[in-house]
Amino acid sequence: MLVQQLANGVFLGAVYALFAIGYTLIFGVLDILNLAHAAIFMLAAFVALSLAGLGVPLVLAFALALVVAGLLGVLLDRVAFAPLRRRNAGTLVPLISSIGAAIIMQGVARGIWGPDEQRFPANALSTAEIHIGSLTVGALDVVILAIALVLMGVLSYVLRSTALGRSIRAVAADRVAAALLGVDIERTIALTFFIASALGGAAGILIGLQYNSVSLDMGARIELKGLAIIILGGMGSVTGAVIGAFLLGAVETLSVAYISSSYRDAIAFGVMFLILVLRPTGLFGKRALRAA
Amino acid sequence: MFEFFAHHSKLIDQIGINALLALSLSISLRAGSLALAQAAFMGIAAYVSSIGAVHLGWNLGGAALAGALAAALVAAVLALPIGRLRGVFLAIATIGFGEITRIIAINWPITGGAEGLSGIPNDANTLSIYGTLAVVGFAIFLFGRTKLALAVAATREDESAARGVGIDVAGVRMGTLVAGAIVAGLAGALYAHSNFFITPGDFGFGRMEQVLVMCVIGGVTSSLGAVLGALLMTVLPELVRFLHDYREVSSGAILLGIILFSPAGIAGLWQRRT
Amino acid sequence: MRVKSVFCAVLLLAFGSSVALGAGPMTGKSVKVGVIADVTGSAGAYGNSQKNAYELAGDDLKAGLIDAAGASLTFDVQDSASDPNQVVNLVQKFTTDGSALMIGPTLSSEAKKADPIAVGKNLTILATSNTAQGITTMGSCVFRDSLSEEQVVPQMLVKMEKAWKVKTAAIIYGDDDQFTKTDFDIFSASLKADNIDVVDIKTFHKGDVDFKAQLTAIGEKKPDLLVIGALIEEGVKIATQAKQLGFKGHFAGGNGLNSPKFIDLAGPAGDGVIVGAAYYLGDTRGGNKTFVERYTKKFGKAPDQFAAQAYAAAQVVAAAIKGGATNSGQFCSFFGNMKPLMTVLGPVSFMSSRDVRADSAILEVSKGAFVPFK
Chain segment B116-161, per-residue pLDDT in tens:
999 999 999 999 999 999 999 999 999 999 999 999 999 998 999 9
Asked if A8 and C203 come within 8 Å (Cβ–Cβ), the reply is no
Express as a percent the part of chain A with pLDDT over 90: 60
- Spell out the alpha helix ranges (H) of chain C: 2-15, 44-62, 84-96, 108-120, 153-164, 178-193, 212-220, 232-244, 260-266, 288-299, 305-322, 328-337
The pLDDT of residue A289? 44
B14 touches chain C (CB under 8 A): yes
| Among A134-138, A142-146, B201-205, the range of highest mean pLDDT | B201-205
Question: Going by C-beta distance under 8 Å and a sequence separation of 6 or more, which residues neighbour residue B69?
Answer: B182, B185
Confidence band for A290, pLDDT divided at 50, 70 and 90: very low
Nearest by CB to B116, from C86, C93, C112: name it: C112
Report the alpha-carbon distance of residue B169 to residue B175 in Å, rounded.
Answer: 10
**CATH architecture group of domain C2-147+283-357:** 3-Layer(aba) Sandwich (3.40)
| Common-topology check for domains C2-147+283-357 and C150-277 | yes
Per-chain mean pLDDT for chain A:
90
Rounded to the nearest angstrom, the minimum Cα separation between A262 and chain B is: 7
What tens-digit pLDDT sequence spans chain C (374 residues)? 444 444 444 444 444 444 444 567 888 899 999 999 999 998 999 999 999 999 999 999 999 999 999 999 999 999 999 999 999 999 999 999 999 999 999 999 999 999 999 999 999 999 999 988 899 999 999 999 999 888 889 999 999 988 998 999 999 999 998 889 999 999 999 999 999 999 999 999 988 999 999 999 999 999 999 999 999 999 999 999 999 888 999 999 988 899 999 998 988 889 999 999 999 999 999 999 999 999 999 999 999 999 999 999 999 999 999 999 999 999 999 999 999 999 999 999 999 999 999 999 999 999 889 999 98
> Nearest to residue B183, comparing CAs of B65, B81, B53?
B65
pLDDT grade for B272, boundaries at 50, 70 and 90: low
Superfamily of domain C150-277: Response regulator (3.40.50.2300)
- Check residue B116 and give its pLDDT: 93
CA distance B247 to A104: 10
Q: What amino acid is encoded at B196 in this protein?
A: F
**C93 vs B: CB within 8 A:** yes
- When scoring C80, C173, C181, C216 by the number of chain A Cβ atoms within 10 A, the one with the most, hence best to mutate, is C216
Residues making up chain C, counted from first to last: 374
Q: Map out the domains of chain B as residue ranges.
A: 11-204
The pLDDT, as a whole number, for residue A232 is 86
Q: Tell me what the mean pLDDT of segment B58-79 comes to.
A: 97
Angstrom distance (rounded) from CA A218 to CA C118: 35
Chain A / chain B CB contacts < 8 angstroms: 121
- Closest Cα in chain A to C40: A115
Q: What ipTM score was computed for the predicted complex, to two decimals? A: 0.92
Q: How large is the C-alpha radius of gyration of chain A? A: 19
Burial (0-12, 13-18, 19+ Cβ within 10 Å), A268? buried
Considering only CB atoms, C265 lies closest to which of A8, A9, A119, namely A119
pTM score over 0.80: yes
> Is pLDDT of A247 > 50?
yes
Q: Is A216's CB within 8 Å of C267's CB?
A: no
Flag if C178 and B199 touch (Cβ within 8 Å): yes
SS3 of chain A: helix, strand, coil, percent, to 5: 75, 5, 20
- Residue B103: burial class (beta carbons within 10 Å; 0-12, 13-18, 19+): buried
pLDDT interval class at A124 (50, 70, 90): low
Chain A residues inside the 8 Å CB shell of C264? 119
Is residue A91 pLDDT above 90, yes or no? no
Return the pLDDT at C105.
Answer: 97
* Residue A233 reports pLDDT greater than 90: no
Pairwise CA distance, residues C367 & C269, whole Å: 10
**Neighbour-count burial of A173, counting CB atoms closer than 10 A to its CB (0-12 exposed, 13-18 middle, 19+ buried):** middle
B103 neighbourhood in chain A, CB within 8 Å: 262-263, 265-266
How many other β-carbons are positioned within 10 Å of the β-carbon of residue B108? 12
Across-strand partners of C341?
C348
| Of A80-94, B44-58, B246-260, C58-72, the least confident | A80-94
Contact C209/A220, CB-based, under 8 Å? no
> Of C262, C196, C266, which is closest to residue C232 (Cα–Cα)?
C262
CB contact under 8 A, A231 and B88: yes
pLDDT at residue C294, as a whole number: 97
C369-372, strands of its sheet edge to edge = C197-204, C168-174, C225-229, C250-253, C273-277, C361-366, C369-372
Give the C-alpha separation, B233 to B4, whole Å: 20
Kindly write down the DSSP assignment for every residue of C176-203, as one continuous string: TSHHHHHHHHHHHHHHHHTT-EEEEEEE
Q: Is the dihedral of CA C278, C283, C288, C290 positive or negative?
A: positive
Q: How crowded is the C-beta side of C333, counted as CA atoms within 13 Å?
A: 7
Identify the CA nearest to C369 among candidates C288, C266, C234, C244.
C266
Comparing CB atoms, the residue among A5, A215, A252 nearest residue C216 is A5
pLDDT digits 0-9 by tens, A98-108: 999 999 999 99
- pLDDT band for A22, please (50, 70, 90 cuts): confident
Average pLDDT, integer, range B227-253: 93
Across the range A54-78, mean pLDDT stands at 95
HSE toward the beta carbon, residue A289, CA cutoff 13 A: 32
Q: pLDDT value at position C11?
A: 45
Asked whether residue A1 carries a pLDDT value surpassing 90, the answer given is: no
C294-329 in b/e form (b: 16+ CB < 10 A) is bbeeebebbbbbbbbbbbbbbbbbbbbbbbebbebe
**What's the pLDDT band for A234 if we cut at 50, 70, 90?**
confident
User: All domains of chain A, ordered by start, with CATH?
Assistant: 2-126+139-291 (1.10.3470)
Average the pLDDT over A172-191 and give the result.
Answer: 92
Query: Given CB atoms, is C83 within the 8 Å cutoff of chain A?
Result: no
B115 touches chain C (CB under 8 A): yes
Q: Show me where the domains of chain C are located.
A: 2-147+283-357, 150-277
Amino acid C17: pLDDT: 45
Whether residue A121 is preceded by a cis peptide bond, meaning omega within 30 degrees of 0, is no
pLDDT confidence bin for B1, thresholds 50/70/90: low
Interval A66-94 mean pLDDT: 93
Distance from CA of A98 to the nearest CA of C (A): 18
